[in-house]
């Protein structure tokens, strides 16, 4: 197979493995899942991302069979799975608490599911060994769960849920209990195992970085609804709402009114004006008298020939605002009475007149002491705060109107040589395509 | 100095309230019956040397020769064992229901389990006499609803003893099991179901093994006191109910044979040491597992 990009969601021929169709789940008065429709494809690593209480865990529990939808249908491989109990589904789950059986050894924990469906001891043993090898736990097979570390427990839980080779593996905050360093290593391990086994993974997490790292697609959820489903790149670079933009990563949101920019901005008219009928002055009697008696002796008599300005020179057509060489198209966003409008070149001109939000990623905003040449958007402000992250620094710059903009720079120099510090007057600037214009 | 004093307190306690009384009982068990006050000989009045040389294992030999005592011990073990099983069968579902009850109900349910302790144990056992007797509430109720036509004989049988023991010791069974089930992580049951267990299978493979320590603790807490129980068999049991507690009472108060009674008590203690040590082991293992 050639190097094809894994993107079954773009292929209308592909049949989804899981299909949520208008699924609603209510607990009493509380609506956990609100009319949700979603397709998940085979071999995907799908992340459900959202704050706690957004319904992501409920979705997972419905897939596992611990909850049933109030209305709507969930299909697994084309079959409606409502009413099928958890022990009859080809779905396994890795629990947030790992839920390892404390009275059983690691080996028996992994064999637990296998023993339920077969009594072939040799087959079970070889499958358990295979799982132990996959998760590099061979040495710990005889230990009890409380005798191994958190990271090892996490791998046991993974091995146990993979042992039955489910069509779909659900991971509920699988890395929540691990420390940052181990979490990062485990993320790559998870991706590796997912690739090796070819199992479809659905992961629930509130950690956007984790979701972005591991997932082929991310669904950002809020209050029981899916806000956006897309690849991590698209979610980050092209969020479809200010909620998604704000939830994923760091962002500055500026609200304003859109105004379509002219398609050919201030195209100078270089044609010689053609006057159809010469319009000379036609003074009345009093005017003639005034001219002849008063003005003519002082400034000379008038001529009847028409004076004309010379046609504009091609080299002289640039207006002052165009000295920055801004391409045409896009919109202006009027956001402050005292500041120039912001320019978003790749926004849809049809937004003309609408209330919009400009989402700016800090790493796409530059900061400098002097006004940068050629920047499409440049605003003056004061540094209020500097968040030093080691490799990066985020500057919080307050503009004249009180709006805060975050700008991020890589710390390529030592901190002591940093030229921008607190209370400095700085310019923040970004290109015409750096921001994402959101209408909701 | 202060530290030593602090450590000494439990040891003094143990010495004064367990070891010295035990030594006294043991000494009496080695003495001979006498028509005197106290009713045994030799005593310290005879001089220390005479007292020590006058001791022998005669009473223990007597206990092993008379099969009444063997039967009493065996029957006590049997009654204690059966009533422990019965208490487990009644107590486990109650503890399970309590642990699965909504959070806000649990303190109330726990309170209800402990509530009987607020009245005297003796009065509660007497109350059972009123319930179980031929003209008691139970028989009257059964006659009234027409299940039986002649009153059942329950009082003064082993059945009444079982009922009494189960009733009295039920809280000791429920509390440790409840505490084990309460700590049980619900996601373990879900994990078992997710891995292919039915509800019942998950109960056997996960819930029971994980509440094992609670079950063991509860069983010992019922078995140990039930073995030497005196009040329940003497009030609810009949002449056929042979329990060592009753035998001990008779030897001590009716026969005034203190040395034989003491020997019975010493052997009872030796029998009890086995389950007590096992119980302690279980507790220790549990504490280690929770570390």
Chain A 178-217, CB below 8 Å of chain B: which residues?
A: none
Q: Which residues of chain A make contact with B288, given a CB cutoff of 8 A?
A: none
Structure-block tokens of residue A238: 């092209």
Distance from CA of B278 to the nearest CA of A (A): 19
pLDDT digits (tens, 9 = 90+) for B179-227: 999 989 889 999 999 999 999 999 999 999 999 989 999 999 999 999 9
Report the distance separating Cα B19 and Cα B30, nearest Å: 16
CATH superfamily to which B66-289 belongs:
MetI-like (1.10.3720.10)
Select the residue from A102, A131, A162 to test the B interface by mutation, using most B Cβ atoms within 10 A.
A102
Domain A253-262+326-438 CATH assignment equals 3.40.50.2300: no
Report the b/e string of B76-94 with b at 16+ CB within 10 A: bbebbebbbebbbeebbeb
- B194–A103 C-beta distance less than 8 A: no
Domain boundaries, chain A: 8-249, 253-262+326-438
Say how many CB pairs under 8 Å bridge A and B: 60
Q: What is the CATH number of domain A8-249?
A: 3.40.50.300
pTM recorded for the entire structure: 0.75
Residues 6 or more apart in contact with residue A137 via CB below 8 angstroms:
A106, A152, A155, A156, A159
**What does the pLDDT read at residue A298?**
81
Q: For chain A, give the percent of residues with pLDDT over 90.
A: 32
Name the A residues in 69-88 with CB < 8 Å from any B CB. Answer: 85-87
At B67-117, the pLDDT tens digits run 889 999 999 999 999 999 999 999 999 999 999 999 999 999 999 999 998
Give yes or no for a contact between A260 and A351, defined as CB atoms under 8 angstroms apart: yes
Q: Span A325-332, mean pLDDT?
A: 76
Contacts from B232-236 at CB under 8 Å and sequence distance 24+?
Answer: B232/B125, B232/B161, B232/B164, B232/B165, B232/B168, B233/B79, B233/B161, B235/B125, B235/B126, B235/B128, B235/B129, B235/B164, B236/B125, B236/B128, B236/B129, B236/B132, B236/B155, B236/B156, B236/B160, B236/B161, B236/B163, B236/B164
Chain A, nearest residue to B193 by Cα? A87
Angstrom distance (rounded) from CA B278 to CA B219? 11
Nearest to B188 among A96, A101, A116 (CB): A101
Burial of residue B254 (number of CB atoms within 10 Å: 0-12, 13-18, 19+): exposed
pLDDT above 60: residue A370: yes
Judge whether residue B259 has pLDDT over 80: yes
Q: For A163, name the nearest residue in chain B, comparing CA atoms only.
A: B195
B201/A116 CB distance under 8 A = yes
CB contact (8 A) between residue A103 and residue B210: yes
Contact B187 A99 (CB under 8 A): yes
> Cβ contact (<8 Å) for B190 and A86?
yes
Facing A87 at nearest CB: one of B197, B209, B289:
B197
- Give contacts of B289 with chain A, Cβ < 8 Å: 102, 146
pLDDT at B233: 92
Confidence of residue A328 (pLDDT cuts 50, 70, 90): confident
- For the ranges A145-159, A237-251, A313-327, which has the lowest average pLDDT? A313-327
Nearest CA in chain A to B199: A87
Task: Name the percent of chain A lying above pLDDT 70.
Answer: 89
Residues A295-330 as b/e (b if ≥16 CB within 10 A, e otherwise) read eeeeeeeeeeeeeeeeeeeeeeeeeeeeeeebeebb
pLDDT band at A1 (very low <50, low <70, confident <90, very high): very low
Which residues does chain B have within 8 Å of residue A96's beta carbon, measured at their own beta carbons?
187
Give the per-residue pLDDT at B73.
92
pLDDT of A263 above 60: no
For residues B20 and B44, the model is more confident at: B20
Touching check for A97 and chain B: CB below 8 Å? yes
Bond into B38 cis (ω within 30): yes
Across the interface, of A87, A146, A161, the residue whose CB is closest to B193 is A87
Which residues of chain B have a Cβ shorter than 8 Å from any chain A Cβ? Answer: 185, 187-188, 190-198, 201, 205-206, 209-210, 212, 289, 291
Q: How confident is the model at residue B148 (pLDDT cuts 50, 70, 90)?
A: confident
Average the pLDDT over B41-51 and give the result: 81
For residue B62, what are the contacts with CB-CB under 8 A and spacing of at least 6?
Answer: B260, B263
ipTM over 0.85: no
Q: Chain A partners of B191 at a C-beta cutoff of 8 Å?
A: 93, 95, 99, 101
Q: What share of chain A is helix, strand, coil (3-state, %, to 5)?
A: 30, 30, 45
Helical segments of A118-270, H only: 121-134, 150-162, 180-197, 208-214, 232-237, 242-247
Does residue A333 register a pLDDT over 60?
yes
Q: Please list every residue in chain A whose beta carbon sits closer than 8 Å to the beta carbon of residue B209.
A: 103
pLDDT, residue A389, reads: 85
**Contacts made by residues A14-19, CB under 8 angstroms, sequence distance 24+:** A14/A41, A15/A78, A16/A40, A16/A41, A16/A42, A17/A41, A17/A42, A17/A44, A17/A76, A17/A77, A17/A167, A17/A168, A17/A200, A18/A63, A18/A74, A18/A75, A18/A76, A18/A168, A18/A200, A18/A202, A19/A73, A19/A74, A19/A75
Rounded distance, CA A398 to CA A401, Å? 8
Q: Is the pLDDT of residue A267 over 60?
A: no
Q: What is the DSSP string of B155-224?
A: TTSHHHHHHHHHHHHHHHHHHHHHHHHHHS-HHHHHHHHHTT--HHHHIIIIIHHHTHHHHHHHHHHHHH
pLDDT at B180: 92
The structural domains of chain B, with segments of one domain joined by +, span 1-62, 66-289
Looking at the partner chain, which of A99, A102, A117 has a beta carbon nearest the beta carbon of B196?
Answer: A117
- On the question of pLDDT at A318 being above 70, the answer is no
Tell me what pLDDT residue A323 has.
Answer: 44
Residue B34, by phi and psi: left (phi above 0), alpha (psi -120 to 50) or beta?
beta
Give the pLDDT confidence of A14-69 residue by residue, as tens digits: 888 999 999 999 998 999 999 999 999 999 999 999 888 888 989 999 999 999 99
Which range has the worst mean pLDDT, A2-6, A141-145, A159-163, A345-349? Answer: A2-6
- Which segments of A33-120 does DSSP mark as H helices, in order? 56-64, 106-117
Cα B222 off chain centre by:
4
Of B185, B192, B198, the CB nearest to A97: B185
The span from the CA of A216 to the CA of A222, in Å, is 20
How many C-alpha atoms does B34 have within 13 Å on its Cβ side? 14
Angle in degrees, CA A144, A147, A150, rounded to 5 = 110
| Helix, strand, coil % over all residues of chain B, rounded to 5 | 80, 0, 20
B210 and A96 within 8 Å at the Cβ level: the answer is no
Of A63, A64, A103, which to mutate for an interface test with B (greatest number of B Cβ within 10 Å)? A103
Task: Find chain B residues with C-beta within 8 A of A97's C-beta.
Answer: 185, 187
Angle B121-B127-B131 from CA coordinates, rounded to 5°: 145
Chain B residues touching A164 at Cβ < 8 A: 195-196
Nearest CA in chain B to A100: B188
Q: What is the DSSP string of A136-169?
A: T-GGGTTS-GGGS-HHHHHHHHHHHHHTT--SEE
Looking at the predicted structure, is the pLDDT value of residue A228 above 80? yes
């Amino acid at each position: 197979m050639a190097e094809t990009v894994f993107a079954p969601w773009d292929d209308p021929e592909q049949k989804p493995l899981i299909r949520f169709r208008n699924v609603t789940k209510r607990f009493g008065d509380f609506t956990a899942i609100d009319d949700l429709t979603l397709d998940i494809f085979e071999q995907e690593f799908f992340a459900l991302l959202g704050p706690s209480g957004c319904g992501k865990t409920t979705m997972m529990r419905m897939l596992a069979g611990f909850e049933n939808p109030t209305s709507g249908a969930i299909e697994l491989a084309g079959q409606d799975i409502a009413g099928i109990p958890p022990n009859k589904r080809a779905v396994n789950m890795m629990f947030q608490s790992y839920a390892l059986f404390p009275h059983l050894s690691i080996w028996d924990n992994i064999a637990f599911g296998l023993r339920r469906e077969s009594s072939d001891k040799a087959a079970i043993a070889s499958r358990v060994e295979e799982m132990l090898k996959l998760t590099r736990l061979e040495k710990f097979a005889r230990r009890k769960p409380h005798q191994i570390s958190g990271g090892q427990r996490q791998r046991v839980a993974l091995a146990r849920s993979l042992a039955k080779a489910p069509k779909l593996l659900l991971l509920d905050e699988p890395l929540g209990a691990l420390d940052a360093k181990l979490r990062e290593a485990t993320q790559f391990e998870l991706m590796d195992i997912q690739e090796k086994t070819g199992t479809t993974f659905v992961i629930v997490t509130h950690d956007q970085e984790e979701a972005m790292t591991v997932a082929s697609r991310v669904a950002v959820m809020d209050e029981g609804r899916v806000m956006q489903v897309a690849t991590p790149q698209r979610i980050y670079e092209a969020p479809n709402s200010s909620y998604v933009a704000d939830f994923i990563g760091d962002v500055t949101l500026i609200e304003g009114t859109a105004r379509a920019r002219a398609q050919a901005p201030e195209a100078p008219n270089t044609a010689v004006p053609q006057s159809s009928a010469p319009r000379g002055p036609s003074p009345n009697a009093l005017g003639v008298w005034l001219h002849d008696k008063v003005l003519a002796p002082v400034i000379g008599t008038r001529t009847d020939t028409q004076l004309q300005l010379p046609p504009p020179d091609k080299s002289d057509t640039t207006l002052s605002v165009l000295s920055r060489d801004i391409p045409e198209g896009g919109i202006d966003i009027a956001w402050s009475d005292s500041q120039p409008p912001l320019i978003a070149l790749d926004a849809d001109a049809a937004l003309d007149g609408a209330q919009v939000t400009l989402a700016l990623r800090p790493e796409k905003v530059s900061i400098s002491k002097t006004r940068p040449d050629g920047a499409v958007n440049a605003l003056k402000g004061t540094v209020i705060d500097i968040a030093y992250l080691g490799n990066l620094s985020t500057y919080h710059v307050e503009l004249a109107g009180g709006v805060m903009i975050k700008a991020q720079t890589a710390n390529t120099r030592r901190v002591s040589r940093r030229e921008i510090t607190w209370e400095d007057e700085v310019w923040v600037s970004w290109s015409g395509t750096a921001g994402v214009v959101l209408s909701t | 100095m202060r530290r030593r004093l602090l450590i000494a307190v439990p040891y003094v306690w143990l010495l004064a309230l367990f070891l010295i009384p035990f030594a006294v009982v043991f000494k009496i068990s080695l003495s001979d019956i006498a028509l005197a006050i106290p009713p045994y000989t030799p005593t310290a009045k005879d001089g220390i040397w005479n007292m020590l040389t006058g001791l022998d294992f005669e009473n223990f030999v007597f206990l092993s020769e008379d099969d009444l005592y063997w039967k009493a011990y065996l029957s006590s073990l049997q009654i204690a064992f059966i009533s422990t099983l019965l208490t487990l069968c009644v107590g486990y579902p109650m503890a399970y229901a309590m642990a699965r009850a909504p959070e806000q109900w649990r303190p109330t349910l726990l309170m209800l389990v402990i509530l009987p302790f607020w009245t005297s144990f003796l009065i509660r056992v007497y109350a059972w006499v009123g319930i179980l007797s031929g003209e008691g509430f139970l028989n009257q109720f059964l006659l009234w609803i027409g299940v039986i036509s002649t009153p059942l004989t329950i009082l003064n049988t082993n059945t009444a003893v079982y009922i009494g023991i189960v009733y009295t010791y039920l809280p000791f069974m429920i509390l440790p099991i409840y505490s084990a089930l309460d700590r049980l992580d619900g996601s373990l049951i879900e994990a078992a179901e997710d891995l292919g267990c039915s509800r019942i299978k998950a109960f056997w493979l996960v819930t029971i093994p994980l509440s094992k320590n609670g079950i063991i603790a509860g069983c010992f807490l019922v078995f140990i006191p039930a073995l030497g129980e005196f009040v329940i068999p003497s009030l609810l049991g009949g002449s056929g109910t042979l329990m060592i507690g009753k035998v001990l009472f008779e030897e001590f108060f009716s026969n005034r044979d203190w040395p034989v009674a003491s020997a019975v008590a010493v052997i009872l203690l030796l029998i009890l040491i086995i389950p007590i040590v096992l119980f302690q082991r279980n507790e220790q293992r549990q504490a280690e597992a929770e570390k």
